[in-house]
């Protein structure tokens, strides 16, 4: 019991430390949100203001935009710590490396996904998404965005020692995230048509459990290879 409390305390300290670093770099918050809003507002200009067209493409547009905006801040998850040597010290902490990795994933989710969740009603309004589908959209974001952060951490750990790993990171991650994108858009589309979204949401919940359970182990192995 004492060990569990100690690990929890270490995890909270790591989260607070990374959040303080992120708060000093305002672009961590602003760039993904600005990118997301720009993409969402350009779509009605590109495809026309037709309500039916916008409502039909809204789930895919929102989720593709969310995926791309989340990837903007992924590269910084371990890069700065790798450059200044903090990553090596993190691996020497008297706690499992998996805890430190989980802290990084949580901070990335807080920085990139929470603002997205807050403005999701505005995004739905811009794309004329039906109000009955809005709760399901928010639920898909709650289930899916942690998966983006967790799977993204694996790709970042694999490419952290490369000078320009951004392009390779995208090539690694996008194929892995296609199933998540398919089930998320299917759930929102089903809700907008008045159908049950339980099936796609169940698959997304399974993805979330697998990602949070396995990604710290995969990131640990990748970091040990990259650092050593």
pTM for the full predicted model: 0.86
Mean pLDDT for all residues in the chain: 83
What residue segments make up the domains of the chain, in order of their start? 2-227
With a cut of 50, list the residues of the chain below it in pLDDT: 1-4
Q: Which residues of 111-147 are buried (b: 16+ CB within 10 A; e: fewer)?
A: bbbebbeeebeebbebbbbeeebbebbbbbbebbbbb
- So what's the pLDDT on residue 1? 42
- So what's the pLDDT on residue 164? 64
DSSP state of 195: -
Contacts of 106 (CB under 8 A, 6+ apart): 15, 149
For 17-73, write each residue's pLDDT tens digit: 888 877 777 666 677 888 888 888 888 888 777 778 888 888 888 898 888 888 877
């Amino acid at each position: 019991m004492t060990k569990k409390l100690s690990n929890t305390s270490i995890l909270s300290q790591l989260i607070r430390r990374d959040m303080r670093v992120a708060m000093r770099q305002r672009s961590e918050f602003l760039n993904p949100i600005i990118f997301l809003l720009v993409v969402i507002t350009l779509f009605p200009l590109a495809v026309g203001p037709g309500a039916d067209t916008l409502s039909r493409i809204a789930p895919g547009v929102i989720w593709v935009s969310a995926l791309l905006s989340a990837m903007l801040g992924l590269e910084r998850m371990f890069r700065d710590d790798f450059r200044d040597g903090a990553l090596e010290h993190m691996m020497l902490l008297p706690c499992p490396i998996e805890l430190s990795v989980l802290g990084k994933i949580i901070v990335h989710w807080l920085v990139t996904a929470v603002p997205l969740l807050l403005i999701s009603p505005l995004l739905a309004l811009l794309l004329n998404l039906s109000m009955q589908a809005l709760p399901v959209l928010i639920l898909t974001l709650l289930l899916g965005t942690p998966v983006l952060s967790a799977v993204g951490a694996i790709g970042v750990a694999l490419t952290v020692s490369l000078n320009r790993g951004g392009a390779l990171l995208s090539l690694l991650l996008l194929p892995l995230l296609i199933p998540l994108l398919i089930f998320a858009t299917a759930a929102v589309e089903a809700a907008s048509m008045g159908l049950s979204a339980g099936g796609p949401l169940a698959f997304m919940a399974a993805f979330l459990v697998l990602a949070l359970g396995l990604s710290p182990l995969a990131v640990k192995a990748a970091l040990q290879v990259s650092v050593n």
